[in-house]
Structure 1
């Protein structure tokens, strides 16, 4: 796996040494757990579900939940990788004041991070679009299995590819019964921010507070193509805090960063950790 130049890592360590850090993570942090990203080098072209089409189209909801049933098996099998665990250790030691993540896989929580803002929500929760009743994702998975017993015959190999939001590309599944709210019968949606939707203001404010209180911002595994990440970079710039990004491939907002490192997150972060330890 490519790793940033040693001199650049030395410079990053010099910038971050002795500073409290805010961490912003994207899909590149979870690729080592088997969860793909949307835009990394070599990633296939993906068409993510958007919020407006999910709400407007019963057929799109049907396709989503069929794919999510199969994709959910793969997501549940994913475990925190060394990057998640190292960042949790940084939080425990006080080096990291908190983590804001664009990921919905819950792996930061599983790794033990407590000061965490899941900007785009979490796949382990489901909400009714009509009455706003919340459900555990497992309860909805169980409902899908009961109402579609033939799905037990399908395995992960029946999904063409897994998306970072837990959805999977699936062939047409005739006869699939879409889960509904057991309180009012309304349509259900995973409690995540789809493309075309806005991060709740209170949630974003918590992330912005972490950035504002920290002495530096470290961005890991994010292409920074969505507005939420850019707004956090702008907060750090207003505060006069240095910004360092580590990502494979092109990173948006590079002109805002103090230092841009290109390479795989895991080896780069562990190399940086070794330098900060001295």
Structure 2
């Protein structure tokens, strides 16, 4: 199932995307006289029971709206976004060459965080503050949405804690790394575009067989596959949850493949007026404009 959050009467609403149409869950539930989750977080916390309720709604063939007529929001505002650095072999190599990181493959996941205030949805602007950065970069990443609380879980049990998958564009101000620390570089407002939808885990046959790409103004900058992920999802959940409780709705951004702007010769960075499109197979395209934030 492909789930979205969109702007509607009275605030943000939960939707089910079906091709080029959506089902307004609240409207469909009212029409059928059925109970249904009201928000994305309600679905995540409700687990199998909530998903069954949505399937029941769909079976009733409710009215649909054209997707193009609604304004999409970020699927939810995560309690925390845990980023994973250097998780694709070719990106390790290009980062060592251009960003002075270690050329050796990491032996454990390289982790950082983004605050909830960094999250923006489809179509919302990425803020380019020229007073803070001249090196605003992109990274298309598969996002793992946590469905059940994970605390010290094993790799063998980790996938039971996944609700679904989405896209995060890990925006980075490369010139704001401070003594090796990445938080300000990656955590500023608007530096975590998220969406456009969440594909539930039961609807993804192989999370390591997804093509991903990124375009800037229509030009392809990144093109790869999740099969090249160094630390896989179960390993990431086990490692993170060994010391940090993952809660329903939390997001893990699983790392970027090669092709970031810093890797080009000459280097390429985002500028006001650019449009960035991050795409992952079976999930969709996350499109955001870059605006001058000064």
TM-based fold match above 0.5: no
Between Structure 1 and Structure 2, the one with more strand by share is 2
TM-score by length of 1: 0.22
Between Structure 1 and Structure 2, the one with more helix by share is 1
TM-score by length of 2: 0.21
